Amino acid sequence: MTAEQLQAIIAAGLSCEHLHVEGDGRHWYATLVSAEFEGKRLIQRHQRVYATLGDKIKTDEVHALSMKTYTPSEWQAAANQA
């Protein structure tokens, strides 16, 4: 699987204002900004992203996914601090 394919899978299941995926084919790193994260704890956000992957995690097609998840306002605040 490529980063573009993984990004497309996530984007098909989760509306994101920003989505960037990179990795080596087994270990992936994603930055996601979605209004769907509003009011959700970190674990709930990650569960929401994992839900977009379906069996790809269970079958080890996606071995590991590290994420940074932001609401649009959190993303804007982070950009203003940079």
**pLDDT tens for each residue of 21-73:** 999 988 999 999 999 999 999 999 999 999 999 989 888 889 899 999 999 99
Q: How confident is the model at residue 81 (pLDDT cuts 50, 70, 90)?
A: confident
Is 82 a residue whose pLDDT tops 80? Answer: no
SS3 of residue 40 by DSSP? coil
Q: Tell me the domains of the chain and their CATH numbers.
A: 3-81 (3.30.300.90)
Is 15 a residue whose pLDDT tops 80? Answer: yes
